[in-house]
Every structure is written in C-alpha cells, then in structure tokens.
Structure 1
Amino acid sequence: MLKVLIVDDSAVVSLLLRNTLEQGGLEVVGEARDGRQALVMVSQLKPDVVAMDIHMPNLDGYQTTKQLMSVNPLPIVLVTASEDPNDAAVAMRALDVGALAVVQKPRGPGHPKYQQDAAELVRTVRNMAQVKVITRVNRLQRSAETSDAAVVSQLTGQKPKIIVLGASTGGPMALRELLSSLHSVLPWPLLAVQHISHGFIGSFCNWLNESSAIPVRIAKQNEIAKAGQLYLAPDDCHLGVRLDSSGACYLQLAVSEPWLGQRPAVGYLFNSVVQSYGEQSVAVLLSGMGTDGAAQMLTLKKLGALTIAQDKASSVVHGMPGEAVRLNAATYTLCPRDIAALLNILALQHAPDG
C-alpha cells in the first residue's frame, strides 16, 4: 500500500483526510501538525507522498515544500480550500518550488460534493505517489543547445496563425518558464489547457501574469482571441475555436463529455485546431501525466503543423510529451526556454517588418 503523511494543523481536518484516504485504499503512516514536525516525520516514516495544508504555524505549506524539495525530495500534494484566494496564491508558489499538485480539501461527509472531492483527493494522491522526484534544482533552465541558425532554416515554411499548448502535472512551472521567455509582442493568439483542480484556475492565471511577457486571461465564451494574448481553459469546460468567414477566431467553451477523463482536455483543444487551422498552427505539449493530446498532435503534424514536446530532462512527468515522442508526433523536443526561443524566432519571421 502507498504510504501517506498528512500535514495539517487541524485535528478535525486530519481525521477527515485520514478517513478519506484510508477508505480509498491508502495507508496513512502519520499526522504532522505543522511544517517543522513534517520535516522530522518525513525522515522517520519515509512516506511515499505528503498530503499537506497551506496555512500552518511555524512553517507554512510553501516553506515546508521548499525545504523538503531541497533536502528530502518526495511527491507533495497540497490539500487546501480553493475558495480562499490566499490559500490558492500560496499554493501556486509551492508548485513553483516543487509541489506536484494542488487539490480541493474535502468539505465533509455531509456536503453534497463530498464524494466528488474525496475521489479527486484519492486519485491525485495515488497518481502523484508514482512520480519520481529529485532534489529541486533549476531543471527548467537546462538547455537543449538548439542552434538558432538551424531552426531558422527549418521554420521558413511555417506560417502559423495560432499556438495551442497542453500541460498537466509539472506543467505550471514549465508554462511559467516558457511565458517568461517569450517576446512581448506575438503575431498570434495562444490557447492553453492546464489540468488543475477545480477552483484554482483564477490564482493560476494571476500567478502566470506575474512573470509572463504577454497577458494571460481565462477564456470566455465567444470571445475573439487576440494576437499576443494567452487564453486559459476555465474550470470544467473544454476549450475550442471557431473561425468566421473573415478569419476571426472565436473561443468556444463546451461542457460535453470528458476526453480521457479530463475536462478541459488538451485533446479537445488540439482536435478543434485540426478542424479549423490544420497546418497553420503550432501545438506544444508540456510536462504532464497520461497521454492527453498526443494523438491529436500526431494528426496536426501529419497535416503539416509545427509540433513541439517538452524534453524528458526538464519534465517533472514526461507522460504527455513522452507519448507524443513515442508516436513520432513532435517535430522538436525541447526544454521550455528553448520552446520559447523557437516561438520567438518564428514570431520575428512573421513580424510586419520581417
């Protein structure tokens, strides 16, 4: 059985988490009341995964995550209240220093959404326990040493009108790294699907905007996608596009069935681009668990689109981009900064004076 350490300063919440996780087939090996106690118990009990609150005395979730990932790295899942904007903001910072996922804290057996919350908690903790983590270093800054000259010669035939991105576990850090390295003026809109727990997309958007070279916003139904802006799929909605006769790109949100268990799904977005833009697109798959988007990326590549997968060395989880590589769906395999460099080169080629 997978061993879990719970870290929460509330005995009542700890009991709720224990019961939820044990009913889901996980073994709770201990309960820490604050970050300092968690540091000691991780060394003593050697859990497979830590399920941790954000706001605690002595060391909060962010500080505890930072220390654990520098000296005793292991999978960390933040279990917090999405309706608390302070919790969500701190959760984003903890993801930046190595936490793998953030999930809604179950709202008690009497709540109508308890079973949904409980299932999501168990699924997330179980999945994250499988991730192999290493001591937190600047992994995202590693370069694939791409030759700009070689890339320029290979990109001359590409004439994209849209950039679409997909990410899951480990994706927030990769997407933030990529956006911070982009030029501030891009000739196309960017659309992204990031698998993240319900209630955190707003804080995720704000967190990206702190370092992004371009504006990041949450997509709205029938909004016209503007060049030089990135649009995130909102909670529980697929994101797609619709072109009118003038070529204007309208964002389309849908609550249709999940793809591969996900809504929003990367595959849904990529498939929409297959039908609307085809070869006039760039598709990017970043770090993430599973295979969402890989098959649709292959279709885009066959149509002549530019396709890019994050490399294994810089990925927290190489599932989604790794599947794209396995399918031979990726034109390039690069770290986030080199993906940004490639997009910058492409943007310069299509600048009004270029």
Structure 2
Amino acid sequence: MSNFRVLVVDDSPFMRKVFSDFIAADPAFEVIGTASDGVEAVERTLQLEPDVITMDLEMPHMNGLQALRKIMALRPTPVIMISAVTDNGTRDTIKALQYGALDFIRKPDGAVKLDIRKVGEQLLEKLHIAVEMVKSGNFHLLYAIGDGEEEERGPAFGRTPSPADEAGKAPRAPAASASASAPSRLPSPAPKPLQPEPQQPAAPSPELTKPAPPSADAQPAEAGAQAPARSRGLPPPGPLAKLPPARRARPPAPADGLPDARGALGLPDKDGAAPATAKPAAAAKPQAAQEGAGREARPARPGRTDFTDIVVIGTSTGGPRALHEVLSALPESFPAPILIVQHMPPKFTRSLAQRLDTYSALSVREAQDGEPVVAGTAYIAPGGRHMALKRESAGRYRIALSDEPPYSGHKPSVDWLFESVLGMKELRRHAVLMTGMGSDGAKGMKALRDDGAVMTIAEAEQTCVVYGMPRSAVELGAATHVLRLQQIAPVLVQEVRERN
C-alpha cells in the first residue's frame, strides 16, 4: 500500500524542514514536495497531485489564502492551514475555513522546542483525520464562499447565494466523497461544476410534522439512505451528480517540467511579465460584503428578553462554512436567540464571530459570562470555555461560561450547551447538529428530544463536510428532522417566526 502524499508549503526553510521531518517520520505519509510561497504551491499542486496539503498563511508573492482559493478552484484538495495566533492570523484562518480549508493548527512561536514538537504532533493528528475521512467516504469538499476580496485577490469561483438567488432552485450539491473502497491514493474531485439537481421548492411545506419517536428496536439509519427522521413536510433531495473516478488530467507541461499554471491563473510569468490571458471577471460581491466588509463586530443591541423560542447549535469540522450558510440566511427580525458551540481554540472564536457578524443580519458575538440573552442575537461559545443558558428568577436568561474540564471530549462542549436547556419547558427549544467529527451533541440532543424539544435537526450527509456528529444523532434516534444545510435556516424561520 502506497503512502499518502503530502505537499508542505511554508516560506521558512526551517519550518519546511521541521514539518517535513515530522510527517516523514510517520510511515503512513510521504512528503512529495515543498513550496516556499503561494505561487509555487499552486504549481506543485497541479504537478504533483498531493493527497493533502499543509499551507502556511503568511507568505510572499502569494499568501496562503490566495493560494488556497486558487487550489480549491482548480484541483480541490484537503488543506490544513498553519496559523499564527495573532489578530490577523486568526481572522485569516476563519476566512480559510470558509474558503474550503479542512482544518488548521496554530503555528509555534519558534522560541520553545516543546511548542514545535507539540505542533508537529497536532499536525500528524490532523493529517490522519483528513485521510481517514476521505477514505471512509465521510468527507466532502465544499464550494468556497466568495466575498469582497475577489476583485483584489484573483478569479472568483462562487459566492453564497442569497435567499433571492435560491428562490425556486434546489441547493447545489457538494462534491462527491471518496468511496470507502477507494485505493490509498485519494481521488481528485472533477474540475467542472456539478450539474444542478432537479428543481424543488426552496421553502418547506407550510405544515411540518414530526415523525413518531423511534421504537426501542429501531435500526440506525444507513449512510446515504433517506433517514426515517426526515421532515415529512420537505421533499426528499434529488440525486447527487456523480463524479468520474479518474483523476483530473494534468495540464500540458512546458519544457521545465512544471505545469504552466501562471497564465491560466492570471499570474505573472517567471520573468515578471503580465499573463497573456485576460483575468476572469470577478463575480458580483454579496450584498453583505458590500455593506459590512471591514467593520468590527456590532455592539450588542437591545432585543426582546421575553422570547418564547431558543435555538442551540453545535458543530465542529466544517462548522464555520456551515454557520455562515445558516446565519446569513436568517432575517434580522428572527424572534429567538441562538446559542452556538463551535469546536475551536481560544482567540479564534472571536474572529469567527466578527466574520459571521459581517455577513449576517443578526448580531453575532462571542459570548460573555453573565450577559443577558436577547432575541435576534447569536452567541458563540469562547474557545476553551463551556457555555450554558442560565434561567433567572425574573424569567430572564443569561449566558453562563465555565472553566470545568472537557465534557464529551471537548471544551467547549455541545452536550454541555444542549443539556443546559433541559427542563426549560417554558421555552420552545430547537437544537441543530451540523458537520463535525465524533459524537459531541448527540447525547444532549437525544435528552432534549425526550424532554419535549420542538425540533431536533441533524444536517444531512449530502451537505456535511464530515458526517460524524449528525450521524451519531440520527443513529441514536435523537433527530426529529434530517435536513440539508440549505434547508436548515428556512425551516427554523418557519417554525420560530410564524409561531410568534
């Protein structure tokens, strides 16, 4: 069995050597090449066809974000970002996750050798996760989110459709995952866009009915099958377009043996001359990007404290992209607060909240201990702290943060959040589990369903980057609805807004 092939991208010769040595020491991986900047990373990706890429964020000539976007446009490949824990580093990391990166690790500061060793171990762990997900078929590469940087940073290749764009149109299918029986080399996704699915209504049926709770001897849902917990009020999704199993054909190589990627990408040639081909026109900027790009997160604004509904959301790998899809589709008048746990280290959750706030009509903020909870605001648990909903005697609610040890293997924990709203039957509770590895949240969602929660939604396999946490919820009988990512916001709006 051949090893998984890794391309290491970093502008520091020292860090390229360190990461290459760590990766090469693991018999499961082979370092097939390195690159010192984004331009070289794109060229070597097309030439060498790696299975996984490690990508530094800050590099000369073309940074990691720009290289990531071009790679995901030309030859989508699992990418693990190497991020500095700085304000710019955390912001760019969140962008990278929305642009299609699988995950990230924090870059060592170079002062302490133990830090470098720890980072190397984390990198190997992420690499193993990446290849295991692709081999198992539980991994999907998503189209990247476009934004206002497209015109400055190169060709655009997609943006998040607005609700108006999606009216009467079925959601676009993600790239197909690898087969569980695939060989050790990871298959390349096809370069051309998928064909749209057969048309289906964008909005759910006016009547959403819940399936009966599963019996004790109910069988777990099979992967890829229509789960019995699917909403009866929504049409089943159409078939996914199939991708050919063959690798993408390599572009003709010039005399030096490297693919001539520079001209096709709108990059200058090696002598600095402008490319002969015209740069593709950038797509129109999303309205949210035009109105809010570059601003800081909005301050907390007055909102209803006498709400009757509460939404709790949990997600992990692929979560920033999924949260963008859901929160950007909710209206400013959404009459319920939203509490969110995204598995992420400290400092990064604040950048995530600021990024999502830019694109959402709701106010999105990193939660603070003791702050009042109001409708129309989304609260993201800070990295490294558990978040719970706390009821006060006056019938108001506040955020409660905790430094207790990890729960269900995570801190913050989705189970911790979900279980905090058990017993609050004066509220109509709605729980959502989206893409992520493992099972955090499934136990709490099952407890909520048994406690009378109105809706417990698991994201469907077809749109999950990693079908782990939602699968656990479905197999446990915790989900009353199984919905594609694009269906989650409309269903929440209908169930919460119309009831109010």
Instruction: Flag whether TM exceeds 0.5 (same fold).
Output: yes
- Structure 1 counterpart of 2:240: none
Deviation digits for residues 140-189 of structure 1, max 9, x if unmatched?
A: 8654745331238999xxx9531100011111111111011101122221
- Matching residue within 489, 495, 500 for 1:340: 489
- Matching residue within 33, 39, 42 for 1:39: 42
Deviation digits for residues 278-329 of structure 1, max 9, x if unmatched?
A: 8731100111111110121111112221101111222111111122122221
- Matching residue within 428, 435, 458 for 1:287: 435
Deviation digits for residues 39-79 of structure 1, max 9, x if unmatched?
A: 23223433321110112223221221122222211110110
Contact 2:349 2:382 in 1 (8 A): yes
- Structure 1 counterpart of 2:242: none
Deviation digits for residues 74-108 of structure 1, max 9, x if unmatched?
A: 1101101022x222222222222211112211233
- Structure 2 counterpart of 1:311: 460
Contact 2:42 2:71 in 1 (8 A): yes
- Structure 1 counterpart of 2:379: 231
Residue 109 to residue 260, structure 1, CA distance change in 2 (3 Å): farther
Contact 1:160 1:282 in 2 (8 A): no
SS at 2:356 equivalent: helix
- Structure 2 counterpart of 1:251: 399
SS at 2:132 equivalent: coil
Deviation digits for residues 212-236 of structure 1, max 9, x if unmatched?
A: 1200111111222111111111021
Does residue 206 of structure 1 match 2:354?
yes
Aligned length: 347
- Structure 2 counterpart of 1:64: 67
SS at 1:263 equivalent: coil
Unaligned runs of 5+ in 1: none
Moved more, 26-35 or 66-75: 26-35
The AA in structure 2 aligned to 1:334 is L
CA separation in 2, counterparts of 1:339 and 1:267? 20
SS at 2:362 equivalent: coil
SS at 1:291 equivalent: coil
CA separation in 2, counterparts of 1:62 and 1:350? 42
Residue 245 to residue 52, structure 1, CA distance change in 2 (3 Å): same
CA separation in 1, counterparts of 2:425 and 2:63? 46
SS at 1:150 equivalent: coil
Residue 105 to residue 21, structure 1, CA distance change in 2 (3 Å): farther
Unaligned runs of 5+ in 2: 135-139, 145-157, 162-169, 172-199, 212-230, 232-306
Moved more, 227-236 or 192-201: 192-201
Deviation digits for residues 216-263 of structure 1, max 9, x if unmatched?
A: 111111222111111111021011122122221121111212123211
User: Among the aligned pairs, what percent are the same residue?
Assistant: 33
Q: Give the TM-score taking structure 1 as reference length.
A: 0.88
CA separation in 2, counterparts of 1:335 and 1:148? 15
Contact 1:140 1:337 in 2 (8 A): no
Residue 206 to residue 33, structure 1, CA distance change in 2 (3 Å): same
Deviation at 1:13, TM superposition (A): 1.9
CA separation in 2, counterparts of 1:184 and 1:152? 26
- Matching residue within 213, 218, 229 for 2:366: 218
SS at 1:262 equivalent: coil
